[in-house]
A and B are shown apart, each in its own frame.
Chain A
Amino acid sequence: MESLLRIIALTRKELLAVLKDNRARNALLLPPILQCLLFGYAATYDLNHVPYAVLDRSHSTESQQLLSRFDGTGLFERVASLRTQREVSDYVDDRRALLAIEIPDDFGRRLEAGGRADVQIIADGRNSNTAGTALGYAQSVVEGFNVDWRADHGQPGPPVTVEARAWYNPNLMTRWSMIPGLIGTLTMIQTLMLTAMSVAREREQGTFDQLLVTPFRPAEIMAGKALPSMLVGIIQATGVLLVAQLWFRIPFQGSFLTLYAGLVLFVLAAVGVGLVVSALCYTMQQAMLFSFILIMPFALLSGLTTPISNMPQSLQYFTFVNPLRYAIDIAQRVYLEGAGPGVLMPDLWPLAAMAAVTLTAASWMFKHRLQ
């Protein structure tokens, strides 16, 4: 009872310290929401504007038909019709065109004769992501041309056609997978830093000693430090969730109970990591540096931007001890797929284990570093 009251007192003090300071208060709520908006608009692999140049040596009806299909998508914008090979490299080099389509002079004749014709598409590979996506789009345009050509000329259609349906994200919008992923990522950054800094700040300002000579036990101090950070983390996650639903209108499929249960476990693990950092650091500068050093690999190896299955096997092992990996999986699956706690077990138990390990380690280190 006494113990609980002390924990409440410390929690209250921590929250007061954060909320009283205008800068600290704004730093906690605004950045996650701004970052969320920023990611929603800026971080997208979807291409909705592909400037391209054409070098049409064929000048045939067939080549016109093909090109009009490109222009008809609304996605491709023809920025130039070129005459020489040299101009092609100029346009690509200057980034005026992302793609250059080169149609050889025998294009029309060969098709007319019932044969096969080639089209060369040059892509600016300096950004492999956009080049790949643009090439994919171009390929599907050409494929459509092929199907229609065969039908118009009485030829049999291709033996197999693909009927693609993307589940959970029908238009394959990057935003739909990115924003739910941010619920975990943004929360992690702030929770970890807040926890790591709060103890370091007290060490630096000498208030930690003051705290230790009061009847507070080390475990109570830890709890009093963990609770406010967790609370702030959950509120931030809620902020991102609200932006996802109210601003970006991404439909929420799952249950809030499941999502928040996962989030609490995740924030607990993040706070545990933060407390370990704070037990190791004596100054705020060290705590800040240490947090940054951890956050980078956590974010990179989380699967948010690049699929974990693409990573080399050795790195994939590292992702198993990355709480963010599980948090992103939980958030995306609950949000988009409506996954229930049963199927999320493989994500939930590692988080619980990590929270248990980091919190135990932190409390041990607190006891033994207080020397």
Chain B
Amino acid sequence: MTPPVVIGKDLRKTFRARGNGGEVRALDGVSIEVRPGELTALVGPDGAGKTTLIRLMAGLLAADGGTLRVLDIDPAVEPQRVQDRIGYMPQRFGLYEDLSVQENLDLYADLHGVTAAERSQRYPQLMQMTDLGRFTGRLAGRLSGGMKQKLGLACTLVRSPELLLLDEPTVGVDPLSRRELWVIVQHLVREQGLTVLTSTSYLDEAEKAARVLVLHAGKALAQSEPAGVTRVAAGRSLALDPGSGNNARNLQARLLDDPEVIDAVPDGGLVRVVRAGDASAGPARNSIAGLTALPVEPRFEDGFMVLLRGTAAHEAGVDIRLQRPLPAAEAGPVVQVRDLIKRFGDFTAVNDVSFEVRRGEIFGLLGPNGAGKTTTFRMLCGLLPPSGGTLKVAGVDVRSAGAAARARLGYVAQKFSLYGSLTVGENLEFFASAYGLRGGIRRQRIDWAIRQFDLEQHEHTASGELPGGFKQRLAMGAALLHEPHILFLDEPTSGADPLARRAFWRRITALAEQGVTVIVTTHFMQEAEYCDHIAIMDGGRVLAQGSPAEIRRLAHPAEGRQASMEDAFIAVVEAARARAGS
């Protein structure tokens, strides 16, 4: 058998934290093997050490301890020799946005000294593989997120590397583009025998790899084929029926506080539960919280959660009570959108969109990049004037309504826009003042936000230096200071790991229960399960709209599998695109 392409033993890397002089153990004794011609996935929450490990292999960082051989070279000693033979695509690949697709390719080919003969053979392959052939003249900055990633991949592959390192290649990419990217990567492995190491926080992607390494807080929790991870949860996975008239979401929130439960997610109208305790300890209990539980096949995600929960403390219960309860329900919808149109020049970004959201509902806008979600969202928040149609939020058009109407809204922008040079406390103070909070109430609300989102130890940290998960918490805290009646969240969980996403949804669910109306856009199809209603958008139109159960019925699942939200999404979008194409 050919020797592994990468052998790392007991790798250690410590970073000095900026500001407070503390240390961050990014890697704490990790060993890894990457076998030739295989796809290996690094999976773990934010800050697990995935990027650090990849950067060590690319010769961009030197380890503090342990040994590492890449293609039988020590990358810390001879980085250039390693870099000449590998392809590395960082999280934010350096595309030149003002150059066209072709010019970007040429540039990377020049940088790597690819000859004209090689190019004439390589380019058509790459173009065919990435389906970018039609867009060679388009500026890279004008491509959608998924297409940018494909172009980045093509640029990485202009010369044939022996090992391909991908750092979260699908972050912020919609499900369709994500699937296309994976088809490309799997094709490279199967047909061309390329060795690929990719990091990801999507568990369904990790499941497609030949081997996975589960990283958490700088330690490897498991390294095996994906089925090995799934087996960890053997006998622990159950499905609970909340019963008619009950909400799966609310049951799930309750179950998460149960010490016997490791994980609970709403899934197809039921709640999937992973039970704590050893399966071999006794006969599987078939009731939890007084409800009958049916054993189900464990999934990769279940095993992953069991591994993670073995180390991470069970998160304390979320108590997100509103201090000023919302006024009694008004009749009629809180958000009303009718025949909404937005044109930019002769391009119609939003075309005839209508929907309604009732008080206390969670409404999800799903769609691929460029579907018109964000444009719709910006119109709802009053950031863009519509070209046609009507739009009412809490009975008024936010754009023409005054400050008082905006004071009832909370908004978390994509990428959690905060003032990076200000500390957490200063950011909260500014937004509290912006919403007219003063004196004792102001202090009280800021303290609440700091406690609620576990920001105590970060209160004096510049928010630009917070880890990703904490940025999201701060953005949420700032948006909730004034107890808004309506909460707008634009891709709030983008880039967040499974643990952070669960904590986020628990808070949202609790707020909705108290009457806060929530409108959210997301890329994660499983998250649609938390919504009361969803609308799937593509090409500026709403393609399907309804409860998660209604949407799921639109899917054509593979034989013997239960239809997932992702299947439904892809079926709906592809059917619409086929109709438009014919």
Which residues in A have some Cβ–Cβ distance to B below 8 Å? 2, 5-6, 8-10, 12-13, 16-17, 20-21, 205-207, 209-217, 370-371
Knowing A13-B422, A17-B419, say if A213 contacts B435 (CB, 8 Å). no
- Among B403, B415, B422, B488, contact of A215 (Cβ-Cβ < 8 Å): B403
* Alpha-carbon distance between A361 and B383 when the two chains are bound, in angstroms: 20
A20 touches B421 (CB 8 A): yes
Q: Is residue B426 contacting chain A, with contact meaning CB distance below 8 A?
A: yes
B417 touches A206 (CB 8 A): yes
Knowing A5-B438, A16-B426, A17-B422, say if A213 contacts B406 (CB, 8 Å). yes
- Among A10, A20, A205, A209, contact of B378 (Cβ-Cβ < 8 Å): A209
CB under 8 Å from chain A, chain B span 404-463: 404, 406-407, 409, 411, 413-415, 417-422, 426, 430-431, 433-436, 438, 462
Interface string of B384-418 (1 = CB under 8 A from A): 11000000000000000011101101010111011
CB under 8 Å from chain A, chain B span 356-404: 378, 381-385, 402-404
A210 touches B406 (CB 8 A): no
Known contacts A6-B434, A213-B381, then 11 further A-B pairs from the complex at CB < 8 Å, ordered by chain A residue: A2-B436, A5-B433, A207-B413, A209-B411, A210-B411, A213-B382, A214-B434, A215-B435, A215-B436, A217-B403, A371-B384
B415 touches A206 (CB 8 A): yes
* Alpha-carbon distance between A216 and B488 when the two chains are bound, in angstroms: 17
* Alpha-carbon distance between A216 and B430 when the two chains are bound, in angstroms: 12
B406 touches A207 (CB 8 A): no
* Alpha-carbon distance between A212 and B488 when the two chains are bound, in angstroms: 13
A21 touches B417 (CB 8 A): no
| B-side contacts of A16, CB under 8 Å | 422, 426
* Shortest distance between the CB of B448 and any CB in chain A (Å): 18
| B-side contacts of A213, CB under 8 Å | 381-383, 406, 409, 411, 488
A21 touches B403 (CB 8 A): no
Interface of A is mostly: helix
| A-side contacts of B383, CB under 8 Å | 209, 212-213, 370
* Alpha-carbon distance between A2 and B434 when the two chains are bound, in angstroms: 9
| A-side contacts of B419, CB under 8 Å | 13, 17, 207
- Among A6, A12, A205, A371, contact of B420 (Cβ-Cβ < 8 Å): A205
Chain B: CB-nearest residue to A205: B417
B436 touches A209 (CB 8 A): no
* Shortest distance between the CB of A24 and any CB in chain B (Å): 8
* Alpha-carbon distance between A213 and B438 when the two chains are bound, in angstroms: 19
* Alpha-carbon distance between A150 and B412 when the two chains are bound, in angstroms: 91
| A-side contacts of B414, CB under 8 Å | 206
Knowing A210-B413, A213-B381, A213-B406, say if A9 contacts B418 (CB, 8 Å). no
A–B Cβ pairs within 8 angstroms, 19 of them: A2-B436, A5-B436, A12-B433, A13-B419, A13-B422, A13-B426, A16-B422, A21-B421, A206-B413, A206-B415, A207-B413, A207-B418, A211-B434, A212-B382, A213-B382, A214-B407, A215-B406, A215-B436, A371-B385
Residue of A9, A10, A370 ringed by the most chain B CB atoms within 10 A = A9
- Among A2, A210, A370, contact of B403 (Cβ-Cβ < 8 Å): A2
A214 touches B382 (CB 8 A): no
* Shortest distance between the CB of A9 and any CB in chain B (Å): 3
* Alpha-carbon distance between A370 and B406 when the two chains are bound, in angstroms: 16
| A-side contacts of B438, CB under 8 Å | 5
Knowing A17-B419, A213-B382, A370-B383, say if A6 contacts B436 (CB, 8 Å). yes
Interface of B is mostly: loop
* Alpha-carbon distance between A150 and B570 when the two chains are bound, in angstroms: 108
Chain B: CB-nearest residue to A3: B403
Knowing A17-B419, A17-B421, A209-B383, say if A215 contacts B407 (CB, 8 Å). yes
Chain B: CB-nearest residue to A206: B417
B406 touches A214 (CB 8 A): yes
| A-side contacts of B431, CB under 8 Å | 214
* Alpha-carbon distance between A212 and B384 when the two chains are bound, in angstroms: 11
| A-side contacts of B384, CB under 8 Å | 371
* Shortest distance between the CB of B339 and any CB in chain A (Å): 19
* Alpha-carbon distance between A17 and B403 when the two chains are bound, in angstroms: 25
* Shortest distance between the CB of B186 and any CB in chain A (Å): 35
Interface string of B550-581 (1 = CB under 8 A from A): 00000000000000000000000000000000
Give me the 8 closest cross-chain CB pairs, A-B, nearest first. Answer: A9-B433, A215-B403, A206-B417, A214-B434, A213-B411, A207-B417, A13-B430, A215-B407
Knowing A2-B436, A6-B433, A215-B435, say if A209 contacts B406 (CB, 8 Å). no
* Alpha-carbon distance between A13 and B385 when the two chains are bound, in angstroms: 28
Chain A: CB-nearest residue to B484: A213
Chain B: CB-nearest residue to A214: B434
| A-side contacts of B378, CB under 8 Å | 209
* Alpha-carbon distance between A6 and B413 when the two chains are bound, in angstroms: 21
* Alpha-carbon distance between A206 and B385 when the two chains are bound, in angstroms: 18
Chain B: CB-nearest residue to A9: B433
| B-side contacts of A6, CB under 8 Å | 433-434, 436
* Alpha-carbon distance between A207 and B488 when the two chains are bound, in angstroms: 15
| A-side contacts of B433, CB under 8 Å | 5-6, 8-9, 12
* Alpha-carbon distance between A8 and B429 when the two chains are bound, in angstroms: 12
* Alpha-carbon distance between A92 and B419 when the two chains are bound, in angstroms: 60
Interface string of B176-190 (1 = CB under 8 A from A): 000000000000000
* Shortest distance between the CB of A5 and any CB in chain B (Å): 7
Chain B: CB-nearest residue to A2: B436
* Alpha-carbon distance between A144 and B409 when the two chains are bound, in angstroms: 84
* Alpha-carbon distance between A265 and B378 when the two chains are bound, in angstroms: 37
* Shortest distance between the CB of A366 and any CB in chain B (Å): 13
| A-side contacts of B417, CB under 8 Å | 205-207, 209-210
| B-side contacts of A212, CB under 8 Å | 382-383
| B-side contacts of A207, CB under 8 Å | 413, 417-419
Knowing A20-B421, A206-B414, A206-B417, say if A215 contacts B434 (CB, 8 Å). yes
* Alpha-carbon distance between A216 and B165 when the two chains are bound, in angstroms: 46
* Alpha-carbon distance between A357 and B215 when the two chains are bound, in angstroms: 60
Chain A: CB-nearest residue to B409: A213
* Alpha-carbon distance between A2 and B438 when the two chains are bound, in angstroms: 10
Chain A: CB-nearest residue to B414: A206
* Shortest distance between the CB of A359 and any CB in chain B (Å): 21
Residue of B383, B407, B418, B434 ringed by the most chain A CB atoms within 10 A = B434
Chain B: CB-nearest residue to A216: B434
| B-side contacts of A13, CB under 8 Å | 419, 422, 426, 430
* Alpha-carbon distance between A212 and B385 when the two chains are bound, in angstroms: 13
| A-side contacts of B422, CB under 8 Å | 13, 16-17, 20
| B-side contacts of A209, CB under 8 Å | 378, 381, 383, 411, 413, 417
* Shortest distance between the CB of A279 and any CB in chain B (Å): 16
| B-side contacts of A2, CB under 8 Å | 403, 436
| A-side contacts of B385, CB under 8 Å | 371
* Shortest distance between the CB of A321 and any CB in chain B (Å): 32
CB under 8 Å from chain A, chain B span 510-534: none
| B-side contacts of A215, CB under 8 Å | 403-404, 406-407, 434-436
| B-side contacts of A211, CB under 8 Å | 434
* Alpha-carbon distance between A157 and B345 when the two chains are bound, in angstroms: 83
* Alpha-carbon distance between A287 and B422 when the two chains are bound, in angstroms: 22
* Alpha-carbon distance between A370 and B384 when the two chains are bound, in angstroms: 7
* Shortest distance between the CB of A19 and any CB in chain B (Å): 10
* Alpha-carbon distance between A211 and B430 when the two chains are bound, in angstroms: 10
* Shortest distance between the CB of B141 and any CB in chain A (Å): 12
* Alpha-carbon distance between A12 and B431 when the two chains are bound, in angstroms: 12
Residue of A21, A206, A217 ringed by the most chain B CB atoms within 10 A = A206
CB under 8 Å from chain A, chain B span 16-31: none
